[in-house]
Amino acid sequence: MLANKKILICVTGGIAVYKAVALVSKLSQAGADVKVVMTKSAMEFVTPLTFQAMSRNDVYFDTFDEKDSRVIAHIDLADWADLVIVAPATANVIGKVANGISDDMVTTVLLATTAEVWFAPAMNVNMYEKRSVIRNIDTLAKDGYRFIEPSEGFLACGYVGKGRLEEPEKIVKLVQENFVPKNLPLTGKKVVITAGPTRERIDPVRYVSNFSSGKMGYAMAEAATKLGAKTILVSGPVSLNPPSGVQVIHVESAAEMFEAVSRNYDDAEIVIKAAAVADYRPAEIHPQKIKKSDSDSVINLERTTDILKTLGERKQQQILVGFAAETENVIENGMGKLERKNLDFIIINDVTDPDGGFGNDTNVVTLLSKNGTNKLYPAMPKNDLATLLLEAIIEEVKVGNSHDR
């Protein structure tokens, strides 16, 4: 969820610095690009090397140590960040920032940044309740800074009270919530997309499959996520990197794809089947590699489950979208699949078109709906096409609203 998000952690001096290490680690694991700036006091507790290892980035602590002569480090870091978190935030740094003081790397970055800044205070309970500290926090809150309140409990100084740095897991959750796109057409909606081929095993080294690269399905998954969806991508074997923010379930065979899609079907809002699922599989999987002989060989095939047709039979609230890969009578055949499989939409591609189909970066398709709308999309990159198709589907479902599912 935090892929491509740039988060700057400003670490100031308190025993809770050890929790900032966990915070940096968890943010990095969640996909964020994390950089760390430390005060001299923070370095009394944990060395910069620890943060460097956790963030896989340089750690900054000296305003006059310019690691890259082409930029001014504190301005560069201030401009780089999407979000700045001061954790742990001491009474000292809160007081300095509230009064516009910048006399070290942390406070110069905080003064220079235009990104949102959060403070996660950690200190002794009596310090936290001191009028001057409360005044400084109020000043910063009025200036638009956000505070992650410390929790209550046993403090390192021996007191019990409010002053513990909030748990790293909780801070990561707040960061994730902060970056969830709001008010997009698919915000909060679960969209299940299948992509790629399936492989049906013959023996331990051979299989039946097709030429699907997964590009169309992955493009649909990326587009759905950008429109706010919680996207589950059920992917056959492909060599593509999953789009960021998408939950990927890797499968091999049609049977595994059926199981994964069924598991995610009941609460799905939209299901899009871009995968090229094998219609047949070897009737028998040989446990050992089949030995070659001088004579010809025959492999008996049996039908796989038609996943989309089964989903159509079980359809409740879901908007069901199929793809049709056709080589002749393209529209008629596609329309037949729309009806037979009880779909809301079908995206028909003529897979003999040199600008579309299997493996290409572009596609040419016709979108048909059960309400009779029919739109041809000329050759264009699969990513652009995916966004247009999803927008058209969302628009028709919202406007038409006559999808008696």
- Please state whether beta strands 319-326 and 200-203 pair in parallel, antiparallel, or not at all (unpaired): unpaired
Q: Which of 142, 141, 61, 149 is nearest to 109 (CA)?
A: 61
The yes or no reply on residue 214 touching ligand PMT (CB under 6 A) is yes
CA atoms of 195 and 218, how far apart (whole Å) = 6
When binding is defined by CB under 6 A, the residue of 212, 231, 366, 383 that contacts ligand PMT is 212
Residue (9 or 221) nearer to ligand PMT, CB: 221
CA atoms of 229 and 246, how far apart (whole Å) = 9
The yes or no reply on residue 304 touching ligand PMT (CB under 6 A) is yes
Of the ranges 9-17, 20-28, 88-96, 267-275, which one interacts with ligand PMT (CB under 6 A)? 267-275
The yes or no reply on residue 251 touching ligand PMT (CB under 6 A) is no
Residue (106 or 277) nearer to ligand PMT, CB: 277
In the chain, DSSP finds a helix count (H) and a strand count (E) of 13, 20
Least separation in angstroms between CB 393 and ligand PMT: 14
**Number of chain positions touching ligand PMT (CB under 6 A):** 28
Least separation in angstroms between CB 54 and ligand PMT: 38
Least separation in angstroms between CB 204 and ligand PMT: 24
Residue (133 or 335) nearer to ligand PMT, CB: 335
**Angle in degrees, CA 46, 51, 56, rounded to 5:** 160
When binding is defined by CB under 6 A, the residue of 276, 338, 389, 390 that contacts ligand PMT is 276
The yes or no reply on residue 270 touching ligand PMT (CB under 6 A) is no
Least separation in angstroms between CB 226 and ligand PMT: 18
CA atoms of 247 and 228, how far apart (whole Å) = 13
Strand partners for 72: none
Residue (102 or 262) nearer to ligand PMT, CB: 262
User: 144 to 203, contacts with ligand PMT by CB under 6 A?
Assistant: 196
User: 308 to 367, contacts with ligand PMT by CB under 6 A?
Assistant: 308, 322-325, 337, 349, 351, 357-359
Least separation in angstroms between CB 4 and ligand PMT: 24
CA atoms of 92 and 78, how far apart (whole Å) = 20
Strands (E) in 155-246, as ranges, are: 160-164, 190-195, 200-203, 206-208, 230-235
Strands (E) in 240-330, as ranges, are: 247-250, 270-273, 280-282, 301-303, 319-326
CA atoms of 324 and 279, how far apart (whole Å) = 13
Q: Which of 341, 398, 330, 402 is nearest to 372 (CA)?
A: 402
Sheet containing 319-326: give its strands across: 247-250, 230-235, 190-195, 270-273, 319-326, 345-350, 362-369, 374-381
User: Which one from 71, 134, 157, 290 is the annotated catalytic residue?
Assistant: 157
Least separation in angstroms between CB 323 and ligand PMT: 4
Query: Among this protein's residues, is 157 annotated catalytic?
Result: yes
Residue (176 or 210) nearer to ligand PMT, CB: 210
* Helical segments of 153-229, H only: 168-179, 215-226
The yes or no reply on residue 274 touching ligand PMT (CB under 6 A) is yes
Least separation in angstroms between CB 262 and ligand PMT: 11
Q: Any idea which residue has 């008696």 for tokens?
A: 404
Strand partners for 302: 281
The yes or no reply on residue 390 touching ligand PMT (CB under 6 A) is no
Residue (105 or 308) nearer to ligand PMT, CB: 308
Catalytic residue numbers, as ranges? 157
Return residues touching ligand PMT (CB under 6 A): 196, 212-217, 254, 273-277, 279, 304, 306-308, 322-325, 337, 349, 351, 357-359
